[in-house]
Amino acid sequence: MWRLSQEPSEHARWDLRFSSIVPEPASPASGRRAGVGTTDAAARRFTYTRRVPFHTVHGVGVSLGETDRPDGSRTSALRFSTSDHLSPIRSGRGYWRYTTDAGGTRFITGYDYEPGWGALDVVVRPLLGWATAWSFDRLRIWIERGEEPERWPLHSVLWFRRGDRPRAGRCRRAPAGGIRRADHLAGAPSTLATLPEPGGLDSVGPAIDKGAS
C-alpha cells in the first residue's frame, strides 16, 4: 500500500482527484528531516494536474512521509495550492495514516481546503468527499485483488450489476462515533504543521509543462 499510494506515478492512477503528479528533483543536500519518527526523505515538492473537459488545472505541492514512527504506524502529510481561478480548490492540506489492524492495514485520511468557487463549495465539498472515498476503494481493489485501476474507470459507477466495482460507500466517511463536519485534521501528524508553503506556480513552470504532457 505504501508504494502504490506514495509513488507519484502510481498514485495518479487510482486517485480520481489527480491526473498527474510529478515530483521535483531532490536537492543533493536535502538529507533527512528531523522530527517525530524517521522520514523516508526530506519534504519533497511536486506539481500536479487535474484534467477536466476543456481545461487542465495546474498546481504545486509539498509532502513528507514518515516510515518508522514509535507506534509502528506510517504517515504522509501534504500541502498544495493553485492560482488557477477555475479550480474549485484554491489551497489545502491533509494527511494519510497507515496503521496495522487485525488482518490488514487501516488507511485513514483527513483534509481541509480553501474553496475556490465561494458559495458553490456547498456542492463541491460533498463531491470531493465522494471522489476521495471512491478512489480509496479502487486502491483497495488493486491491492487485494490485483485489478489495476484502469479496469475501473469513473463511468464504472454506472455498472450497477457489478457488485465488485469500486464503491464510495465501503469507506467510512467519518471517524467511529464522529460526524463528517468535525475537525478532519484533529488526528494529523505533527509533520503537517512543519511543511513549508507549496510555492508559487511561476517558480515551477517547466515542471508543470512536463506534468501536463
Q: What is the mean pLDDT of the chain?
A: 85
Percentage of the chain modeled with pLDDT above 70: 86
pLDDT in tens, 144-153: 999 999 999 9
In the prediction, which pLDDT does 4 show?
Answer: 94
pLDDT in tens, 104-155: 889 999 999 999 999 999 999 999 999 999 999 999 999 999 999 999 999 9
pTM tops 0.75, yes or no = yes
Query: d(Cα 212, Cα 80) in Å, to the nearest integer?
Result: 17
What average pLDDT does range 66-90 have in this prediction? 93
In the prediction, which pLDDT does 28 show?
Answer: 55
Note whether 21 and 11 are within 8 A (CB): yes
Using the predicted structure, report yes or no on whether residue 94 has a pLDDT greater than 70.
Answer: yes
In the prediction, which pLDDT does 27 show?
Answer: 57
* Cα separations in angstroms, 99 against 103, 105, 146, 193: 11, 6, 21, 21
Q: With cut-offs at 50, 70 and 90, classify the pLDDT of residue 181.
A: confident
Q: With cut-offs at 50, 70 and 90, classify the pLDDT of residue 195.
A: very high
Residue owning grid cell 515530483: 23
pLDDT in tens, 13-62: 999 999 999 998 765 554 444 333 334 457 899 999 999 989 999 999 99
Cβ within 8 Å of residue 166, ≥6 positions away: 134, 135, 137, 138, 141, 152, 156, 157
Query: Which has more confidence, 68 or 170?
Result: 170
In the prediction, which pLDDT does 34 show?
Answer: 37
